[in-house]
Amino acid sequence: MIDSSKNIRPGDILRKKRFGGELTETEIRAFVRGVVDGSFADYQISALLMAICIHGMSDRETLALTLEMARSGEMLDLSRIPGIKADKHSTGGVGDTTSLILVPLVACCGVRMAKMSGRGLGFTGGTLDKMESIPGMRVDLDVDAFERQVTDIGCAIIGQTAELAPADKVLYALRDVTETVDCMPLVVSSILSKKLAAGCDVVVLDVKTGSGAIMQTLEDSRKLAQMMVRIGNLSGKKFSAVITDMDQPLGNYIGNALEVEEAIDVLAGRTAGDLKDVSLQLGAHILKGAGAVSSIAEGVEMLDGKIASGEGLRKFAAMIRAQGGDPRVAEDTSLLPKAKSTVELRADEPGYLAAIRTDDVGNAAKLLGAGRERKTDAIDPAVGIVMHRRVGDKVRRGDLLATMHVGERSDRIGAYNLLRRAIRIGTAPVPRPTLIHDVIEA
Ligand code: URA
Ligand code: CA
């Protein structure tokens, strides 16, 4: 068969999308190939990403992009690992540390977690960056080591291997720094291409909604969730989605080592609240999808039992050890990188914490050095923000609202001003935000 996509030039595709045209499957194949083999330059790819953001993509284009990206590398076959293999993916948030909590807990319940994670994207944090704040921790295992670890201890969290959806690797890094993250077809194709290629049987998607989510309205979040579940289930795997709240940071700790610390606190049973609740809900959906429990309530109870028994924390330590990290952090979080100094933010008026512009909290953490401005930037694992109040809390004048953990390269004034503006205090009581907005099943 003659592959007609070989004759298509980057400029043809760019021009068509610039004026809002619908790309054919052949054009999309040419683009994805060009991304992977380097025949499309970064600036051409970036320009097309921006045109896609501006003009959108039809469902047909999105499906084609997803499938071409999934096929741009190896399609993993995890069938050598016994039992059901599950994965979970978040559309991204702030203080969104659920993977570090639910992966060991679910593994304790007998469902294997073969988790492939990403790095920070835009104002959102990434599990890999968080994991790497643990001294010695490696996230670049090859597929054989990944399979062995999932078989032996029941869980692993690694970066997408070089062979897996390589097109997404290129696009993800460019989107992060070109303001082209919050675009439905790009999010769908990015997440699903990896999940389709990664070989798990059960995938639970955590679709965030609110000011710290890629999709900020519930309507858009629901559309994204439905589209992903629809396209995902075409592949024969079991996809479901939970729409969860991101109208304030999920956990109270934002930043890489800080988020690891909070995850450990949850696993150790020292911290309860929204982060724990969402982690257990998502974990319960995985257990239910895998047939290990018959209801979400049963799943939540089983997972909570693994916190109470200490098994979850021990499993987390085992996963760290298996990936070359220092497992003592599970017992002693002072071994994590720590910032040299802190800056406090206090309430200058009394009232109720009315709203938090969560994306700006994420951006403030980024200004401190917790994320990247350019794709080659190094992050500072120690910096970040600890929030002391949640939406709906009553505050008095002078109450501590947040503590910034700052480093040498932090833009502390920029971060402080952004954070100050992100937290709004009002005079009237406000209800606490709903945590779980919806569940989309196949
Ligand atoms: N997570 C991803 O992997 N890709 C996106 O586009 C958004 C969140
Ligand atoms: Ca980033």
Give 186's pLDDT tier (boundaries 50, 70, 90): very high
Q: What is the mean pLDDT of the chain?
A: 95
What's the gap in Å between 80 CA and the centre of ligand 1? Answer: 28
Contacts of 201 (CB under 8 A, 6+ apart): 84, 85, 86, 237, 238, 290
CA-only gyration radius of the chain, Å: 21
Clarify whether 194 is annotated catalytic: yes
Give 374's pLDDT tier (boundaries 50, 70, 90): confident
Q: Which residues surround ligand 2, an ion (CB under 5 A)?
A: 120, 176, 371-372
- The best mutation among 181, 205, 206, 228 to test binding of ligand 1, ranked by most ligand atoms within 8 Å of the C-beta, falls on 181
Determine the pLDDT at residue 1: 56
Q: Which residues line ligand 1 (CB under 6 A)?
A: 91-92, 118, 121, 186-187, 190-191, 214
Residue listed under structure tokens 């694992």 = 381
Clarify whether 346 is annotated catalytic: no
Ligand 1 atom, smallest distance to 124 CA: 8
Asked if the model's pLDDT at residue 2 lies above 70, the reply is no
- Which residue out of 33, 89, 237, 366 is catalytically annotated? 89
- Which residue out of 16, 115, 119, 175 is catalytically annotated? 175
Clarify whether 168 is annotated catalytic: yes
Give 235's pLDDT tier (boundaries 50, 70, 90): confident
Q: Which of 74-78, 241-245, 352-356 has the lowest mean pLDDT?
A: 74-78
Q: What is the DSSP code (8-state) at residue 121? A: B
Cβ atoms of 268 and 315 within 8 Å: the answer is no
- Which residue out of 87, 96, 168, 206 is catalytically annotated? 168
Clarify whether 410 is annotated catalytic: no
Share of the chain above pLDDT 70, in %: 100
301-351 pLDDT, tens digit each: 999 999 999 999 999 999 999 999 999 999 999 999 999 999 999 999 999
Asked if the model's pLDDT at residue 375 lies above 80, the reply is no
Alpha carbons 394 and 20: distance in angstroms, whole number: 49
- Which residue out of 33, 88, 169, 194 is catalytically annotated? 194
Clarify whether 176 is annotated catalytic: no
pTM, two decimals, is 0.91
The H or E element containing residue 261 is helix 256-267
